[in-house]
């Protein structure tokens, strides 16, 4: 791979826009970052906009008609290419509650896709996010209650008995109030798995006990969890008050009102991880009928995925649209994009992605003044973008 240098009038570094500057790339990684004026000898000159790390969506159930639970090789290729075009360079494909016996094939397919597309200029599969089945029937959301169960040693033995699962499982969302949950958290963390509190009716004390056991993440704050109260903080209050937690927050402006999103960012600076919770309908026209999690789903007129009974099933947008929605709501663009890049990387304990820094993988996005991704590089290789993102 040939060397590459990119100059930009502004760059996202450590949560703020700096610049002008030049990023030098060698062997797919960032070799030098220099804040200076002048484009002599620079390969790519960006005369406007902002250069940022590539975004990562750590909760995405599928997009462009594909459900990650049963996506075909062709669908994986379509999704990973489509996300890359929209500035998403890292992904945790999310698989929701299902019988344990049905999860092994899903992990096998995800692992195969991870291997098959390694090194290509498409969105990287960082690892799988398993959302359930160790969650609360009381806060089930769009999940099937009949498939939920306690995270017993036997259940974890079955889950981790599959080789592909052990290789690709990165995050598990569970409800810490379930029997055996604290022991399960410790075991999962010992395996290098991030444990996220979600779909939970836990009290604040139970959430903090989960943190003591090793939980470090929250799944879509305020959605499908015991609500915030001034005498019982519930899950939202517990995780905002506890610096041990990163806070997954859906940025579509509908799962959480933008005013509340602003409160979350203000309460937990540097700990908010912006996600979509996208489903199969993301990136497709509204009102396209599809299946998700074994049940029908379609986007409403606002691009929100809903079940037939009106239950919210997930977002019908891609992460770049989430950025635009939050900026339109008055949020600081640097803070919003940092939540999908630098903070997302820190939540996974990664320093080699999500940053414009020496040694990081050269996954980069050039945004225009309207916050549309115009050019994208993954490992220093440019992604072909057919036209402006819509």
What CATH number is given to the structural domain containing 308?
Answer: 3.20.20.140
Give yes or no for residue 41 having a pLDDT over 90.
no
pLDDT at position 37: 67
Residues 37, 162 share a domain: no
Average pLDDT over residues 258-281: 97
- Catalytic residue list: 277
| The total number of structural domains that make up the chain | 2
Instruction: Tell whether 388 is covered by a domain.
Output: no
Q: How many separate helices (H) and strands (E) can be counted in the chain?
A: 11, 25
Residues 83, 12 share a domain: no
Whole-model pTM: value is 0.95
Domain span at residue 309 reads 54-347
For residue 293, name the pLDDT band (cuts at 50, 70, 90): low
Residue-wise pLDDT tens digits, 191-221: 999 999 999 999 999 999 999 999 999 999 9
For residue 1, name the pLDDT band (cuts at 50, 70, 90): low
Average pLDDT over residues 318-344: 98
Average pLDDT over residues 255-284: 96
Element (H, E) at 267: helix 258-267
> How far is Cα 227 from Cα 248, in angstroms, rounded to an integer?
15
Give yes or no for residue 312 having a pLDDT over 90.
no
Residues 207, 122 share a domain: yes
What percent of the chain shows pLDDT beyond 70?
98
Instruction: Tell whether 161 is covered by a domain.
Output: yes
Residues 101, 20 share a domain: no
pLDDT at position 358: 98
Residue-wise pLDDT tens digits, 120-159: 999 999 999 999 999 999 999 878 899 999 999 999 999 9
pLDDT at position 295: 80
Average pLDDT over residues 350-363: 98
Average pLDDT over residues 98-113: 96
Residues 90, 34 share a domain: no
pLDDT at position 389: 45
pLDDT at position 159: 97
Average pLDDT over residues 147-174: 97
> What does pLDDT average to over the chain?
95
Average pLDDT over residues 331-352: 98
Tokens of 37: 């004026």
Average pLDDT over residues 90-115: 96
Instruction: Tell whether 353 is covered by a domain.
Output: no
Instruction: Tell whether 76 is covered by a domain.
Output: yes
Residue-wise pLDDT tens digits, 368-389: 999 999 999 999 999 988 754 4
Residues 377, 244 share a domain: no
Question: With b meaning 16 or more CB within 10 Å and e meaning fewer, what string describes 135-158?
Answer: bbeebbbbbbeebbbebbeebbee
Residues 58, 39 share a domain: no
Instruction: Identify the sign of the CA torsion 275, 358, 361, 372.
Output: positive
Residues 215, 73 share a domain: yes
What CATH number is given to the structural domain containing 24?
Answer: 2.30.40.10
Tokens of 89: 């360079």
Residues 239, 259 share a domain: yes
Instruction: Tell whether 71 is covered by a domain.
Output: yes
Contact between residue 256 and residue 226 where contact means Cβ atoms under 8 Å apart: no
Give yes or no for residue 331 having a pLDDT over 70.
yes
Residues 215, 196 share a domain: yes
For residue 302, name the pLDDT band (cuts at 50, 70, 90): confident
Nearest Cα neighbor of 110 from 162, 52, 184 is 162
Instruction: Tell whether 389 is covered by a domain.
Output: no
Beta bridge partners of 377: 364, 382
Residues 258, 201 share a domain: yes
3-state helix, strand, coil in the chain (%, to 5): 30, 25, 45
Instruction: Tell whether 102 is covered by a domain.
Output: yes
Residues 316, 184 share a domain: yes
Instruction: Tell whether 352 is covered by a domain.
Output: no
């Amino acid at each position: 791979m040939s060397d590459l240098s990119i100059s930009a009038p502004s760059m996202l570094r450590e949560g703020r826009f700096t610049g002008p500057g030049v990023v030098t790339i060698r062997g797919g990684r960032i070799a030098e970052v220099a804040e200076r004026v002048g484009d002599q000898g620079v390969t790519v000159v960006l005369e406007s906009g902002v250069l940022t790390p590539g975004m990562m969506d750590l909760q995405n159930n599928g997009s462009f008609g594909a459900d990650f639970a049963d996506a075909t090789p062709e669908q994986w290729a379509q999704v990973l290419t489509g996300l890359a075009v929209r500035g998403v360079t890292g992904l945790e494909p999310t698989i929701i509650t299902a019988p344990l016996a049905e999860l092994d094939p899903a992990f096998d397919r995800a692992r195969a896709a991870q291997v098959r597309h390694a090194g290509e200029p498409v969105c990287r599969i960082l690892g799988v996010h398993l959302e359930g089945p160790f969650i609360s029937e009381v806060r089930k959301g769009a999940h099937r209650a009949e498939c939920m169960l306690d995270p017993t040693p036997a259940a974890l033995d079955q889950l981790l008995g599959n080789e592909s699962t052990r290789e690709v499982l990165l995050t598990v969302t569970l409800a810490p109030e379930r029997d055996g949950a604290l022991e399960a958290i410790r075991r999962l963390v010992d395996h290098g798995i991030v444990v996220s509190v979600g779909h939970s009716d836990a009290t604040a004390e139970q959430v903090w006990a989960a943190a003591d056991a090793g939980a470090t993440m929250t799944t879509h704050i305020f959605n499908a969890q015991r609500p915030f109260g001034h005498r019982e903080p519930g899950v939202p209050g517990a995780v905002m008050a506890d610096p041990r937690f990163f806070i997954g927050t859906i940025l579509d402006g509908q799962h959480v009102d933008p005013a509340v999103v602003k409160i979350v960012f203000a309460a937990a600076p540097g700990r908010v991880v912006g996600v979509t919770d996208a489903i199969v309908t993301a990136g497709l026209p509204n009102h396209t009928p599809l299946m998700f999690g074994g049940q029908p789903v379609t986007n409403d007129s606002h691009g929100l995925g809903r079940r037939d009974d009106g239950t919210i099933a997930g977002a019908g947008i891609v992460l770049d649209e989430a950025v635009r929605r939050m900026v339109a709501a008055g949020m600081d663009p640097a803070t919003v994009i940092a939540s999908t890049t630098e903070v997302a990387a820190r939540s996974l304990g990664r320093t080699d992605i999500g940053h414009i820094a020496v040694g990081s993988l050269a996954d980069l996005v050039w945004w225009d003044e309207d916050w549309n991704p115009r050019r994208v590089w993954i490992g220093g290789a440019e992604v072909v973008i057919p036209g402006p993102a819509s």
